[in-house]
Homo-oligomer: A and B are copies of this chain.
Amino acid sequence: MATIKDIAKKVGLSVTTVSRALNGYDDVSEKTRKKIQLAAAELKYSPNVAARSLVTNRTQTIGLLVSGLNQEGAKDHFMFDILNGLNHKASNAGYDLVLFSTDSAKQRVKSYTQLCRERRVDGVILQGIRLDDPYLQEIIESDIPCVVIDIPVRSSKVGHVTTDNRQGAKKAVDYLLQHGHKQIAFMNGHGQAHVSQERLLGYQDALQEAALTVTQALIYNGEFSEYKAEVEALKLFKAKPEATAVFCASDLMALGVMKAAKRMRLRVPEDVSIIGFDNITLAEYVNPGLTTISQEPFQMGIEACAILLSLLTGEETSKQSILPTTLIERESVAFVRS
């Protein structure tokens, strides 16, 4: 593999000049630059980024640190869409993405900070991390520029991007309210997700605004899992047959709830209305079509990358971004039967 030295030898110049010519410095005559570029091409030269970053201390690499990357993620394509947005923005800015995935097993070996330091990533984007994650605090407090998705953290070297979950949840419940529902159950995710906390607040906001009382017995946790939600919904439908609607904190869970309804011989939306959150692809294809609150993971990826990039350049911009939601009307919500 040709090095800068080989080029220098070939054209009879010093490595310094070659380096500067190739990096576009203007203190080199166009004539020699041409000569050097030609030689570089002939030798099929590629710069060695390892050598470069050893001296510059920058790697032009962004880490993507994901917890719980697995096949489940194919159904809700949240992670994939974020990756896409990230990649889109990052590659345009000349950065490459390196993927760090962890799970509870691997965490014990290396902390997130370790992972990032070893690879000397210029910055990192965190996704799918729980609030009680043992390594979250450490990396936030480190000097590694990072932006975390769906956890509101605030510090000089940390940004975050999330969806307006509270508002989104309120929209969903308001919509149910407008359809005459008064006994509205809530299938939430779990307590260690910030989005769940927010969506719970939105649920409460809506009910309170409608002068309805929030009853704990109508709130379940489906752990963001389709199957778990189905199991919980079965309990719900048995314990609270008076519930005429359920707001689900994710579309995947909404699918689980629909399955439960079917098993209980409850028709959607005639007997029970269901509204989801996310607007995953399945929501559109499923029968009946799932009414839901859409969020934009692709855009989140874009924004996350933009914030990180500004963190890297030291540019003074907003370090947070909260994206709006929109209600997507389909067929899973109906007016309550009188």
Q: Are A50's CB and B54's CB within 8 A?
A: yes
Per DSSP, chain A at the interface is: helix
Q: Mark A58-99, 1 if CB is under 8 A from B, else 0.
A: 010100000001110111010111011001000100001111
Q: When A48-B120, A49-B119, A120-B49 are in contact, do A87 and B99 touch as well, CB less than 8 Å?
A: yes
Q: Mark A274-290, 1 if CB is under 8 A from B, else 0.
A: 00000001100111000
* Closest partner residue, chain B, to A2 (CB atom): B117
Chain A residues bordering chain B, tally (CB within 8 A): 44
Q: Are A96's CB and B119's CB within 8 A?
A: yes
Q: Are B46's CB and A54's CB within 8 A?
A: no
- CB under 8 Å from chain B, chain A span 286-307: 286-287, 298
Would you call A47 an interface residue if the criterion is a C-beta within 8 Å of the partner chain's C-beta atoms?
yes
* Closest partner residue, chain B, to A79 (CB atom): B80
Task: Give chain B residues whose Cβ lies under 8 Å from the Cβ of A53.
Answer: 50
Would you call A220 an interface residue if the criterion is a C-beta within 8 Å of the partner chain's C-beta atoms?
no
Would you call A227 an interface residue if the criterion is a C-beta within 8 Å of the partner chain's C-beta atoms?
no
A to B CB contacts below 8 Å, 14 in the list? A48-B54, A48-B120, A49-B119, A50-B50, A71-B84, A74-B77, A74-B84, A77-B77, A87-B101, A91-B106, A96-B119, A99-B99, A285-B286, A287-B287
User: Which A residues fall within an 8 A CB radius of B?
Assistant: 1, 46-51, 53-54, 59, 61, 69-71, 73-75, 77, 79-81, 83-84, 87, 91, 96-101, 106, 114, 117-120, 255, 281-282, 285-287, 298
